[in-house]
Structure 1
């Protein structure tokens, strides 16, 4: 959980920060150094990756029979999966906090006051993609198939989020995809609180609205899918 984001921060962030260490290049990143620009993106990327991966545990539960015991329990299925998603999302947000605190050791201009609101943005992102990952895992039988879908989706969504380079630098067709990418709004919101409005693309109100709507829709989908789930 810690090593992969640190690889991005140290080997990618520190390396490219030297390349972009001039006033002209800083204008591309809203007037801040590249590592400061990258840090909120790595924070959001960490939460996104970990929350998506939480769906793997559902497949494990299916394969080892634990999910069958949960499904026959007298408790409400919707409440059960909601509790699981909330627990997974809280754990994932704590993991994001660890990475965020480590980035303060490397990046120069991050705002300590932005940690709490950025974590709230991260929690919305986590519960949304935990719901999506769980819904997907409930329809799958093999770990390999789920991992293949993860590989196909995670990298494109990350590169299209503006986490690594500004959306303004993308070609037109890529910008259109970035605007419909949910991760874009989490990165943008985290940047607003941790760096400032000068490096954001959207209004913070739009970021909150999109992530809140996404969380409600994907958690509701997971609850419906869990309600219909059966174990052969």
Structure 2
């Protein structure tokens, strides 16, 4: 019972921390809107993708981008907790490191999912063609994407001692994951460098964005992989990251 209570408490704390940060909530509305309106308008006429409008192509990619940047940023909570002594109190409590990691990871994942839902709302408002019922198919995929990415952020933060170092490492990881995921442009087909295609295959976000396009765009999108392959890769990625995260928290003092 104590493990369950600790898990719930940590989850709720991370969620409340996000909801009370009004600046971050406001930014979560503005950033995806700029991508979907300004970026799509600027590049839509120049980048032609057979069978699908560019804004429709971009929409799942911006959902993935929002999940990525939000999830990775959430790791900063670990540094704050270490700075103010909260993490020390949690680590000396009679609760397993797995539960501590899982509680923070689920709380941060919930916050990232909320921002992903905001992008869905913008897509509906902007008239991007998709079946609203596809949201229910996209939610499990969004959760799988978020779990692994939040875990990366928590792992990095567990070894960092300052916000500056965390910010530098986070940016170093975020940008390659984003640009090599196919969120903004196709990563296969004629004219795409072979090294780019190979690098994208080692990027877990590639499989997440492809899975989102499959369920959101339907027959308008020709997937890179079957949906079950994308989901299987995400599940394996999540399991590995949770394992590493639990180990990283066990080493944290």
| TM-score normalised over the length of structure 1 | 0.91
Report SS of the residue matched to 1:108: coil
Q: CA RMSD in A?
A: 1.4
Please say if 1:81 is aligned against 2:101: yes
Equivalent residue number for residue 11 of structure 2: none
| Mean CA deviation greater in 131-140 or 8-17 | 8-17
Q: 1:51 aligns with which of 60, 68, 71?
A: 71
* TM-superposed deviation, 1:19: 3.8
Describe the superposition over 1:20-40 as per-residue Cα deviations: whole angstroms up to 9, x where unpaired. 5xxxx341xxx0110000000
Please say if 1:72 is aligned against 2:88: no
What number of residue pairs does the alignment pair up?
A: 223
The separation in 2 between residues aligned to 1:26 and 1:138, in whole angstroms, is: 41
* TM-superposed deviation, 1:107: 4.6
* TM-superposed deviation, 1:151: 1.4
Q: Is the 8 A contact 1:111 1:193 kept in 2?
A: no
Describe the superposition over 1:175-210 as per-residue Cα deviations: whole angstroms up to 9, x where unpaired. 100010010001000000000253321110111000
The separation in 2 between residues aligned to 1:179 and 1:43, in whole angstroms, is: 19
Equivalent residue number for residue 39 of structure 2: 12
* TM-superposed deviation, 1:73: 1.2
The separation in 1 between residues aligned to 2:128 and 2:179, in whole angstroms, is: 23
| TM-score normalised over the length of structure 2 | 0.84
Q: Is the 8 A contact 1:192 1:204 kept in 2?
A: yes
* TM-superposed deviation, 1:131: 0.9
The separation in 2 between residues aligned to 1:107 and 1:54, in whole angstroms, is: 30
Report SS of the residue matched to 1:164: coil
Please say if 1:2 is aligned against 2:29: yes
The separation in 1 between residues aligned to 2:175 and 2:96, in whole angstroms, is: 35
The separation in 1 between residues aligned to 2:209 and 2:237, in whole angstroms, is: 15
Q: 5 Å matches for 1:168-183?
A: 168-169=188-189, 170-183=192-205
Q: 5 Å matches for 1:71-110?
A: 71-110=91-130
Q: Is the 8 A contact 1:162 1:187 kept in 2?
A: yes
The separation in 1 between residues aligned to 2:114 and 2:128, in whole angstroms, is: 22
Report SS of the residue matched to 1:201: coil
Report SS of the residue matched to 2:125: coil
Please say if 1:165 is aligned against 2:185: yes
The separation in 1 between residues aligned to 2:181 and 2:124, in whole angstroms, is: 22
Unaligned runs of 5+ in 1: none
Equivalent residue number for residue 194 of structure 1: 216
Unaligned runs of 5+ in 2: 1-27
Equivalent residue number for residue 207 of structure 1: 230
The separation in 2 between residues aligned to 1:137 and 1:39, in whole angstroms, is: 30
